[in-house]
Amino acid sequence: MGRPSKLILSFLAATTLAGAPATAQEKTDFRVAWSIYVGWMPWGYMEDSGIMDKWAEKYGIDVEIVQINDYVESINQYTAGAFDGVSATNMDTLSIPSGGGVDTTALIVGDYSDGNDAVILKGEGDLTSLAGKPVNLVELSVSHYLLARALDSVGLAERDLDGVINTSDADMIAAYTTDDVQAVVTWNPLVSAIMEEPGANKLFDSSDIPGEIIDLMVVNTETLEANPAFGKALAGAWYETMALMAAGDEEALTAMAEASGTDLAGYKAQLDSTEMFYDPAAAVTFTESGELPDTMVSVAEFLFDKGILGEGAPSADFVGVAYPDGSTTGDAANVKFRFDTTYMQMAADGAL
């Protein structure tokens, strides 16, 4: 399984749903949604193992962690107000809830893709060989973004291709084996499967743009402000689970592997292409880095270019993004996406 597959539909849904009122009052019951992806498997484990319940009880609240099989649907439901938080990438958070008007905070910066997403050519060649060729990918997904970044690195653009062919992630492996397909962009575990095909030539992957495809737990900003216990419980449970993973706890890792449809070796292979922030201090350092605003500007420009940065967005600056030092990119009068290190820092300080 991977990330975005229906962004056009999701955007249309989000713009319809974004008017849902935010839940800004104090409360005791919370729900967060997650979907299958290597860096998000801990959420399911936290629910099943009782780690989430333990931390929620500490803060006198109840947190239900719900798996949604369709990634984009999970974000749509969060945007509609059905959940208080959701696992999502930085790109999809910007385009769907934030672009749709729901003020959203990145509570936990869990990891970034470090090779899980790749541009693959059938046969010999390099990135310049893509000129004049069609490329199959999930349109308007992080794959599309990766292709744009890859082409830009060699002075090419999408117009230099013989088109981008929208292909479902479910059909990608089968499509690759057909004569018509010359190049694909996709994510793991599909990348691993395609690279086993004779002549598969990986030209570019997310390790070439480290830190740009970021996996998050995002929450409703107003809900978090009214209920800091919610943030503390989520962060406490998350970093207890991160400690288990960092220690190589095979029971926990095997549970995550099986839940994602692979075995322990397969899950570890996927983790090798994922820069997990097991240490909360590392997550704080990454989130406070000077590179993050540059990344978000680049992502905003891509989304605007593709027409999916919020309904009627007049420019790539339409949505404001705030950073831990108080700086912003985009429209400072329309901040709807906030990177907040408060709770990750509390975990780093042992203050949860």
Grouped pLDDT means (10 residues each) for the chain, 352 residues = 44 43 77 92 98 98 94 92 96 93 98 94 97 93 91 96 91 94 89 92 96 96 97 98 98 95 90 95 97 95 87 90 97 97 98 96
- CATH 3.40.190.10 spans which residues of the chain? 29-112+213-349, 117-208
Spatial separation of the C-alpha atoms in residues 202 and 125, rounded to whole Å: 10
Structure tokens at 185: 């962009």
Burial of 199 (0-12, 13-18, 19+ CB in 10 A): exposed
CB 55 within 8 A of CB 240: yes
Which of the following CATH numbers is that of domain 29-112+213-349: 1.10.490.10, 3.40.190.10, 3.20.20.70, 3.40.50.10070? 3.40.190.10
CB 186 within 8 A of CB 137: yes
Under CATH, to which class is 117-208 assigned?
alpha beta
Q: Is 33 helix (H, G, I), strand (E, B) or coil?
A: strand
Q: Which residues contact 139 (CB under 8 A, 6 or more apart)?
A: 7, 8, 164, 166
What pLDDT does residue 141 have? 81
Q: Is 322 helix (H, G, I), strand (E, B) or coil?
A: strand
CA atoms within 13 A on the CB side of 71: 21
Task: Note the pTM of the prediction, 2 decimals.
Answer: 0.87
